[in-house]
A and B are shown apart, each in its own frame.
Chain A
């Protein structure tokens, strides 16, 4: 299993540009999430999904859109990039059944907005 994969690894955008961060998992996990990690702020939840066709907002959703058309993929869209969105973005997934619900994280995408 590849686990959770993210592309690209690095990205530089100019203010106002849009882009999509890709996330895929091959573990058949229903739950998927996007976090951002910033110095001094820790990891914060942006959006999450409990299954294909179902998404919801986390604690810092403004400026981001998500959709979930398949179990495997959960892309994160930046509509109009701002310098405040410079961060490291992590995608995570977990099983939805009873039990541990251990979360697995991808390697991250480092985004710089100038």
Chain B
């Protein structure tokens, strides 16, 4: 059974720092991995999608990497801003036809001005 773990559960850093959020998964046979952002009381916003054949994806100040063999992904946020404060979730999809995303519990990120 696929399990996804995100450590730490919460992280607080001062504005301007570069930071890394971690996601690990137990079954390396994944189709893709997706990072989401969730603001309090809101839905999930997709940030980055990495296919199993890719090593990384970038969007603005965000960079996500994937190491399937070790079952790990990282989300790198450069020059953090207070507006980056949110919960960040990673989720893996098992196969091309698979509907189920398996989610981690998320990392609650606070950027202090």
Known: A90-B43, A90-B44, A108-B43. A103 touches B34 (CB 8 A): yes
Expressed in whole angstroms, the minimum distance between the Cβ of B93 and any Cβ of chain A is 7
Q: Does B46 contact A (CB under 8 A)?
A: yes
Which listed residue (B41, B49, B99, B103) contacts A43, Cβ 8 A?
A: B103
Q: Is the CB of B101 within 8 A of A43?
A: yes
Chain A residues whose CB sits within 8 angstroms of the CB of B32 once the complex forms? 100-101
Chain A residues whose CB sits within 8 angstroms of the CB of B49 once the complex forms? 100, 102
Chain B residues whose CB sits within 8 angstroms of the CB of A53 once the complex forms? none
Mostly, the B contact residues are strand
CA distance A42 to B105 in the complex (A): 5
Q: Does A16 contact B (CB under 8 A)?
A: no
Q: Is the CB of B103 within 8 A of A33?
A: no
CA distance A113 to B64 in the complex (A): 39
A9-36 to B contact mask, C-beta < 8 Å, 1/0: 0000000000000000000000101010
Which listed residue (A33, A102, A108) contacts B99, Cβ 8 A?
A: A33
Name the residue among A56, A92, A103, A107 with the largest chain B CB count within 10 angstroms.
A103
Chain A residue nearest to B105 (CB atoms) is A42
Q: Is the CB of A106 within 8 A of B43?
A: yes
Q: Which of B55-113 contact A (CB under 8 A)?
A: 89, 91, 93, 96-97, 99-101, 103-106
Give 14 A-B contacts (CB < 8 Å), ordered by A residue.
A33-B100, A35-B101, A42-B104, A42-B105, A43-B101, A48-B100, A50-B99, A92-B44, A100-B32, A100-B49, A105-B36, A105-B45, A106-B43, A107-B42
Interface residues of A (CB under 8 A from B): 31, 33, 35, 40, 42-43, 45, 48, 50, 56, 58-59, 90, 92, 98, 100-108, 110
